[in-house]
Amino acid sequence: MLTKTAFRQSLLEARRVAGQAQGLLDSARLTTEVRQAQRIALFVSRGLEPQTGALIDWLLAAGKEVLLPILYADNDLGWGIAPGAADLVPGRLGLSEPRVDLGSDAIATADLVICPALAVDRTGVRLGRGGGSYDRALARVPAGTPIWAAVYDNEIVEELPADPHDHPVHAAITPTRLVRF
């Protein structure tokens, strides 16, 4: 099996070659969890990640609260309520973030968490970019709260390497479907 670093390089190159980022709105709004959730922790996509902008706008228009991450200097994540894309401010590493930080434990108040990933396997092992930010944040999510990884269809794989600190996800959401594990 490839190492995490080799998997990351391969997946990022595949995204670069494909060159087209697709959004999650169509598949997300069809799910019961999204329709029933009042507060959803999400992320502002960038580059070739599955696009979240239209989904964030739709959730806000539907009267939902959207929590967005704030990257701290130690790579942990705080969370703030999305006021709308125009009101986000530049954050660390080129991320767009809310102005007000509710703290790192705010993720525990979400009814659903959708996090970025480069790949996820059929047992729920999620491969991120390697900073550990989301593994720390996901450890704060109460048992029973659904956690989904946002990936493309071809990034759902049979097996990924895992470390003890890796936090599993319950499903993968792609631009075309939701795959539960």
Q: Give the range of the structural domain holding residue 159, as residue numbers without chain letter.
A: 4-180
Q: Is 131 annotated as a binding residue?
A: yes
**pTM exceeds cut of 0.85:** yes
Q: Is 31 annotated as a binding residue?
A: no
The pLDDT assigned to 85 comes to: 53
- Is 44 annotated to bind a ligand? Reply is yes
- Could you give the number of structural domains in the chain? 1
Is 17's pLDDT higher than 90? no
| The pLDDT of residue 84 is above 70 | no
Which residues lie across from 90 on neighbouring strands? 96
- Rounded CA-CA distance 7/96 in Å is 26
The answer on whether 122 is annotated among ligand-binding residues is no
158: domain CATH number is: 3.40.50.10420
CA dihedral 39, 45, 48, 51 (to 10 degrees): 50
The answer to whether 126 is a known ligand-binding residue is yes
128 is in an annotated binding site: yes
Residue 100 labelled as part of a binding site: no
Report the distance separating Cα 174 and Cα 156, nearest Å. Answer: 9
Q: Is the dihedral of CA 59, 105, 170, 164 positive or negative?
A: positive
